[in-house]
Structure 1
Amino acid sequence: MTDVFTLGAAIVVAISAAGFYRIVAGRTVYDRLLAVGAVGTNAIVLLALTGFIFERPEAFVDLALAYALLNFIAAVAAGKYLEAHPAEDA
Structure 2
Amino acid sequence: MNVVWAISGAMLSVAIVLTLFRSLRGPTTLDRLVGIDTLVAMVICGLAVWVAATGDTTIVPAIVALSLVSFIGSISVARFRVRDDE
**TM-score under structure 2 length normalisation:** 0.88
- TM-superposed deviation, 1:88: 1.3
Residue of structure 2 in register with 1:25 after alignment: 25
- TM-superposed deviation, 1:64: 1.3
* The 10-residue stretch of structure 1 (1-10 or 14-23) with the greater mean CA deviation from structure 2: 1-10
Residue of structure 2 in register with 1:72 after alignment: 71
Q: Determine the C-alpha separation between the residues in 2 that align with 1:63 and 1:6.
A: 22
Q: Determine the C-alpha separation between the residues in 1 that align with 2:84 and 2:46.
A: 33
Higher relative contact order, structure no. (Cα contacts within 8 Å, ≥ 6 residues apart)? 1
**TM-score under structure 1 length normalisation:** 0.84
* Equivalent AA in structure 1 for residue 84 of structure 2: E
Q: Determine the C-alpha separation between the residues in 2 that align with 1:48 and 1:61.
A: 8
**Secondary structure, in 3 states, of the residue corresponding to 1:23?**
helix
- TM-superposed deviation, 1:12: 0.8
Q: Percent identity?
A: 21
Output one character per residue of 1:20-72: Cα deviation in whole Å (capped at 9) or x when no partner: 0011100111111110111111011001011122221x222222111111110
Q: Determine the C-alpha separation between the residues in 2 that align with 1:79 and 1:44.
A: 21
* Residues matched between the structures, number: 86
Residue correspondence of structure 1 range 29-48 to structure 2 within 5 A = 29-48=29-48
Runs of 4+ deviating beyond 3 Å: none
Segments of structure 1 that go 5 or more residues without pairing to the other structure are: none
* Equivalent AA in structure 2 for residue 43 of structure 1: V
